[in-house]
A = this chain, B = another copy of it.
């Protein structure tokens, strides 16, 4: 199909498609003449994913990493999450003290070497942010956080499709990135409802 049809099918304006082509987020179409290229269904699918990622606040650079992970799935299911998380991990940004994070995640069954250091560093940075603000999380609330993320993660990993590596990578990468705004938004709704219950 021509770029105008691609635009109509994917619901993405032509100038935006051209921008994605220049940024190499979208592969070139097949040249049908010096000034025309032809696009297929995989361009439509790819465009939908790009639009969803960028529309969810993922940067162009992160989107490129996610697409690379989708194009080039790691050899084993075991490496899947590492790849997905590395693709969307926040930039490292200096040294962090991992000790407090290690103590905390040991309550999830974590042991040394059992998860990527980048992911653990994410927990450490979040704890540092709370600490700098002088914000303390009570043990009751922290227990609710730990129990909840464990419940969520087990349900999610239980659902990883194992019929193809492509399906598994897609599930893990998109699930990691696109579900984050949903979880945060649902938490805010639940907070307002709990607040209305207690104070309303």
Oligomeric state, in copies: 2
The residues of B that contact A148 with a CB separation of less than 8 Å are: 148-149, 151-152
Tell me the bound Cα distance from A14 to B116 in angstroms: 36
- Asked whether A3 is an interface residue with its Cβ less than 8 Å from the other chain, the reply is no
The answer on a CB contact under 8 Å between A189 and B132 is no
Interface-central residue, A175, A183, A191, A199, by most chain B CB under 10 Å: A191
The interface of chain A, by Cβ under 8 A from chain B, is 45, 48-49, 51-53, 55-57, 76-78, 80-82, 85, 90, 104-105, 108-110, 114-116, 119-120, 122-123, 125-130, 132-135, 137-138, 140-141, 143-160, 174-176, 178-200
The answer on a CB contact under 8 Å between B114 and A48 is no
Q: Which of these, B119, B146, B194, B198, contacts A188 with CB under 8 Å? A: B119
A59 to chain B, nearest CB (A): 12
A48 to chain B, nearest CB (A): 6
